[in-house]
Amino acid sequence: MELKYSLKLDDEERIVKAMGRDMDISFKHAVLICDKLRGMRIKDAINILESVIKLERTIPFRRFNKGVGHRKGLKKDKISKYPVKASKNILKILRNLENNADYKGLDPDKLLIKHIQAQKGISRLRRKPRGRWALWKRQYVNIQIIAEEVNRELKEK
């Protein structure tokens, strides 16, 4: 089965792809993390997600921020959260992308995230426990990442 990506690029030699399918994470958290990581180097993105998992850094909630409390002590992006579960899953995909780059012979330090996107996956219905007839509906998430090797020196963010 061939995986289809939503972005078509011509130069396949300098491009690395990775995809995570049917992950049990929040779609809204995945969208916000993808917005934060778009355009970054892979090493920087991995460092950000590791610090979110350790609760040292937050992800700004610029969308979906109704009812989200402010974080005390932050100068910028006061409306933010620590989406740990989504960060762990996206971190696995980034590490997979890094390993794909090693396998292809590309330098992981020069990889720039060209395309990162969260899409709604399948939704499953389950019956509630204890014989209740109401259904639980769970929406799964697909995430695709495409990184490109850039020859020019990148500025530190």
| Domains of the chain and any CATH numbers | 14-149 (3.90.470.10)
Residue 156 has pLDDT above 90, yes or no: no
Are 120 and 141 in contact by the 8 Å Cβ rule? The answer is yes
Across residues 106-134, what is the average pLDDT?
88
**CA–CA dist 49, 51 (Å, integer):** 5
**CA–CA dist 30, 103 (Å, integer):** 27
Q: What is the pLDDT of residue 152?
A: 60
pTM of the model: 0.84
- The total of other beta-carbon atoms located within 10 Å of residue 16's CB is 24
Alpha-helical regions (H) of 20-155:
27-37, 42-53, 84-104
Across residues 76-81, what is the average pLDDT?
76
Across residues 104-126, what is the average pLDDT?
92
